[in-house]
Amino acid sequence: MNNSCEMPGMIPVEQALQTMLSHIGTYTSTEPVSLDLALGRVLGQDIQSLVDVPPADNSAMDGYAFAHADLADNQHLTLAGTALAGVPFVGKVEPGQCVRIMTGAIMPLCTDTVVMQENTSQQGETISFLEQPYQGNSVRRAGEDIRKDDLIVKAGSQLTPALIALIASIGVGEVTVYKKITVGIIATGDELVSPGQPLKAGQIYESNRYALFGLLHELPVKVIDYGIVKDHKPDLQHVFTQADNECDLVLSCGGVSVGDADYVKDILDDLGQINFWKVAIKPGKPFAFGQLKKAWFCGLPGNPVSSYVTFSQLVKPLICALSQFTPPTPLQIAALAGAPIRKRPGRADYQRGIYYQDDSGQFWVKPNGKQGSGIMSSIANANCYIVLPIEQSNLAMGEQVTIQPF
């Protein structure tokens, strides 16, 4: 692995990520889980349907079912009985007859068309039709959603409410998922105090862990919180060792920039093989990656926006890869700058922006206030990243940029 001594200068984000991904293996152990507990889990098997969905032709409306050819000859049909969802009509439908049918009821034998109740009128047992339907009107065909043998969900998909419903619809009640990896979070810094406590001079409230918890919540992982650790060698040593033993991936924030990082660096050197990089990303330049004795390790910068951005651009893809989760490619949209955008060449910028569409459908984006790496409000009410490549310089209003909606 390259380290910052062998590679002075900055590493592009893509290269940092590629290096990280090329080092890790994947965790392949799986476990069965019942479908009602499967939300958010990563599927460890392809799911192929053994049945047609729906299993039989059925009505899409409350109305009357009949043979299409019959209605062409008659304006009126005689009622032969009723078909309910779950209670099929069992008799034979003779020429000139129709069956009262409810949504989801199986189409009676010899019928192929439904007219909804609102387009009919009834006098006694005689039903009159106010529309001339096409053959197959308001009928849901067997297998029109899923055909037997269709591959409906691929291994590596994260189970969403819709995918779980889809799997339920083919009658599968238990699926094989990849086991969750365990991710530990450590915040380092003498100045950090938990919210809810009084602040002394020089102290600030710890906030990065809260962002990281939230971001990890959307991923298929177990999280262990190691709290705030002082910049004190024995404490750091103790916590990093414990986290290494208990986790597959340890995340720390703070202490990886040049200057105050010495303790963290010393300890990481003792514990494993960690590389301190300057990644060409703004915000978020200092970043560390490597392996402790057992667990993988990412050292995020302490500045709140930097830690948030490096998590989304580097740590999240790493976690997905470790978890065998193939996430959808982040949406990238071309937009026009709705205000001038300041940008110095040298690093890829992930500015926090607010995008909107004008009446013609054109996307526009404006940077959301101050863009400093400590300005958490820039991200809190933004709705996208404005992704500006390394070599990009200032942009005038109206120039094209790429946005990545949150």
In the window 331-390, what residues touch ligand AMP (CB under 6 A)?
Answer: none
40 makes contact, choosing from Mg ion, ligand AMP, none, with CB < 5 to 8 Å by partner type, with none
- Residue 257 interacting entry, from ligand AMP, Mg ion, none, C-beta within 5 to 8 Å by type: ligand AMP
Give the shortest CB-213-to-ligand AMP separation in angstroms: 12
Residues within window 293-312 making contact with Mg ion, judged by CB under 5 A: 302
Q: How far apart are CA 76 and CA 23, in angstroms?
A: 74
Please report which helix (H) or strand (E) contains residue 397, including its range. none
Nearer to Mg ion, 253 or 335 (CB): 253
Residues 295-314 touching ligand AMP, rule: CB under 6 A, are 301-304
- Give the three-class secondary structure for 200: coil
Question: CA nearest 203: which of 195, 193, 213?
Answer: 193
User: Tokens 């402790």 label which residue?
Assistant: 292
Report d(CA 298, CA 157) in Å as an integer.
Answer: 25
- Distant-in-sequence, close-in-space partners of 59: CB < 8 Å, separation ≥ 6: 65, 83, 101, 102, 103, 104, 105, 107, 114, 138, 139, 140
Residue of 330, 323, 244 whose CA lies nearest to 43: 323
Q: Is 189 a binder of Mg ion (CB under 5 A)?
A: yes
Which range binds Mg ion by CB under 5 A, 3-11, 147-155, 163-171, 258-266? 258-266
**Residue whose CB is less far from Mg ion, 94 or 190:** 190
Q: Which of 44, 220, 255, 299 binds Mg ion (CB under 5 A)?
A: 255
Q: Rounded CA gap, 296 and 109, in Å?
A: 63
Q: Which does 404 bind (CB under 5 to 8 A by kind): Mg ion, ligand AMP, none?
A: none
Q: Is the distance from CB of 178 to CB of 324 less than 8 angstroms?
A: yes
Residue 32 phi/psi, 5-degree rounding, is: -80, 145
130 binds, among Mg ion, ligand AMP, none (CB under 5 to 8 A by kind): none
Residues 184-223 that bind ligand AMP (CB under 6 A): 187, 189, 191-192, 204, 206-209
Residue closer to ligand AMP, measured from CB, 44 or 302: 302
By CB under 5 A, name the binding residues for Mg ion: 189, 254-255, 260, 302
By CB under 6 A, name the binding residues for ligand AMP: 187, 189, 191-192, 204, 206-209, 253-257, 260, 301-304
